[in-house]
Amino acid sequence: MRYLPHTDDDISTMLRVTGADSINDFFAVVPEELRRPSGMALPDALTEWELNDLMAALSNADTGATDFLSFVGAGSYDHHIPETVPFLAGRSEFATSYTPYQPELSQGTLQAMYEYQTLLARLTGMEIANASMYDGASALAEAILMALRITKKNTVALSTAVHPFYRQVVRTYVEPTGCSVLELPVLESGRTDLLTLASSADSAVAALQSPNFFGCMEDLPTAARIMHDQGGLLAASFTEPVAFGLYRPPGDDGADVACGEGQSLGIPRSFGGPGVGIFCTRSRYVRSMPGRLVGKTRDQSGKRGFVLTLATREQHIRRERATSNICTNSSLCALSSAVYLASLGGSGLRRLARLNYDKTEYLKRNLSEAGWTMPFTSPTFNEFVARIPGDAEEAHRGLREKGILAGVPLGRWYPDLRDCLLLCVTETATREDMDRLVSEVRS
């Protein structure tokens, strides 16, 4: 096998040094009844070329990834990725290194993560960011756990306009804490009902998503005011950070934690992962936050350098009292998103965001003319809900036969919205693409 360098000669020389007769001697400590009598029933090893054929066949069976015109978003977005992103993040000095515990040999990763933290803090309007979490859902769950620790309160207010999968993950994470979860309903506008939040008094945290699952921008300043009056925190989640190239970011609106998914920033969808969990907060919460942090410092000769810092929060030091159990995070994806943001630049991000917005409005307008209605009135970014005359699942299937994936039907999560689709338009959709959808809808 080409990954295994040992010749028979090597093996016998090495055995001689160790004083063992055979490799089996090292396993003498394994009790007989725990050994595997026969080998593993695994398929035979493939050559590199056979593997290529197999994987080509398997990946080609994912026809949805390649053969359809897609308007599916819902937490995973199709954006153009410049070739520089996979090329640079794929450099093996980045890809084949471990967590930068030895800073002198890891300045590349460390400076890149310091820059990532800075870029993400600027993008979300927050003061600090960590060096990444697993994904947007666990970032939100951890934000909620952090708020429970800080406020020592016992109720979590969770908007039903938060991605349904994120809400499921939050419930899984908080289940053992015994805290109660209050679900906040959605108004006609497509925004979260903040009156319910105001009247519910004593929550540790309100978790909202903006843009929310329906694409609508939430009223974060009001939510922040309500929470701060109660002595609680506002956690603002997001699945589409490109929105902050156009709209005010959560930090400017008073959020205490801005957390979400960074897949949009130069990371392929890959059937849902890996992406990158973004976690940003205020400096005053730095010692309560989960995840690794990179800090700036100097070496003995006074030269600028970077290290992992405030590690006493983490599991390898504080063990059961750590702020989180996270160890491996999503570093390489965080690097991809930094390269992406660096490539785009502030000016580029503004233009890109505007393009997403304008195209989405174009499709909304044209679908309205074609007879679909938009049930929610609040401003959206690059996703929106459309109500269709008839059954959404059926319409979705019909369009699929025409080679179009018309978003996702919402009935699965919101029975009231059984006749609605959630559609997404990014810069990758051309006017012709959208016109094609509209003309199919018309016919």
Partner 1 sequence: MSERVGTQGLLFNEPLLWERGSRGRSGMSLPRADVEPAPVDEDLVGNGPDIPDLSEPEVVRHYTRLSQWNFGIDSNMYPLGSCTMKYNPKTNEKQAARPGFAGAHPLLPSELSQGALQLMAELEQYLAEITGLDAATLQPAAGAQGELTGMLIMHAWFKHHDDRRSKIIVPDTAHGTNPASAALCGYRAVPAASGPDGILETAVIDRLMDDETAGIMITNPNTLGFFEENIKAIAQIVHRHDGLVYCDGANMNALMGIVDLAAAGVDILHLNLHKTFSTPHGGGGPGSGPVLVRKKLEPFLPVPRVVPDGKGWRLSDDFPLSIGKIHAFQGNFGVMVKAYSYIRSMGADLKRASQLAVLNANYLKERLKGVLHLPYDRPCMHECVFTDALQQPYGITTLDMAKRLMDYGFHPPTVYFPLVVKDALMMEPTETESRDDIDRFVEALEAVAKEAVESPELLREAPHVCKTERLDETEAARNPRLTG
Partner 2 sequence: MKEISELLFPENTLYAEDHEWAKIEDGVATVGINDYAQDQLGDIVYVELPQVGDSFERGDEFGTVESVKAVSELYMPLSGEIIAVNENLEDSPELINQSPYEEGWIIKIRPDDDNEAEELMEKEAYLSFLKGDD
What does the binding site for partner 2 look like in residue numbers (CB under 8 A)? 287, 311-312, 317-318, 321
* Minimum CB distance to ligand PLP smaller for 328 or for 443: 328
Q: Does 10 bind partner 1 (CB under 8 A)?
A: yes
Q: What's the min distance (Å) between Cβ of 317 and partner 2?
A: 6
> Residue 259 touches which of partner 1, ligand PLP, partner 2, none (CB < 5 to 8 A by kind)?
none
Q: Does 240 bind partner 1 (CB under 8 A)?
A: no
**Which residues from 328-347 bind ligand PLP, rule CB under 6 A?**
328
Looking at the DSSP bridge assignments, the partners of residue 236 are 208, 258
Q: Does 317 bind ligand PLP (CB under 6 A)?
A: no
End-to-end CA distance of the chain: 58
Q: Does 171 bind partner 1 (CB under 8 A)?
A: yes
Report the run of H or E that residue 406 belongs to, with start and end: none
Q: How far is CA 443 from the centre of its chain?
A: 37
The binder of ligand PLP chosen from 20, 23, 51, 327 (CB under 6 A): 327
> Residue 34 touches which of partner 1, ligand PLP, partner 2, none (CB < 5 to 8 A by kind)?
partner 1
Q: Does 413 bind partner 1 (CB under 8 A)?
A: no
Q: Does 54 bind ligand PLP (CB under 6 A)?
A: no
**Which residues from 86-105 bind partner 1, rule CB under 8 A?**
86-88, 90-100, 102-105
- Taking the C-alpha atoms of residue 254 and residue 42, their distance in angstroms, rounded to an integer, is 55
- Structure tokens that stand for 2 in this block: 């080409």
Q: What's the min distance (Å) between Cβ of 325 and ligand PLP?
A: 8
Q: Are the beta carbons of 88 and 82 closer than 8 angstroms?
A: no
Q: Are the beta carbons of 204 and 155 closer than 8 angstroms?
A: yes
Q: Does 439 bind partner 1 (CB under 8 A)?
A: no
Q: What's the min distance (Å) between Cβ of 281 and partner 2?
A: 18
Q: Does 80 bind partner 1 (CB under 8 A)?
A: yes
Q: Are the beta carbons of 64 and 406 closer than 8 angstroms?
A: no
Q: What's the min distance (Å) between Cβ of 318 and partner 2?
A: 6
- Nearest partner of 73 among 432, 429, 437, 425, judged by Cα: 425
Give, in order, the Cα–Cα distances in Å from 125 to each of 236, 300, 343, 347, 358.
12, 34, 20, 16, 24
The binder of partner 1 chosen from 74, 186, 223, 392 (CB under 8 A): 74
Per CB under 8 A, the segment of 66-74, 154-162, 182-190, 201-209 that binds partner 1 is 66-74
The residues near 295 (Cβ < 8 Å, ≥ 6 apart) are 114, 306, 307, 308, 309, 310
Q: What angle do CA 235, 238, 239 make, to 5 degrees?
A: 150
Give Rg (Cα) of the chain: 25
Q: Does 440 bind partner 1 (CB under 8 A)?
A: no
Q: Which residues bind ligand PLP (CB under 6 A)?
A: 327-328
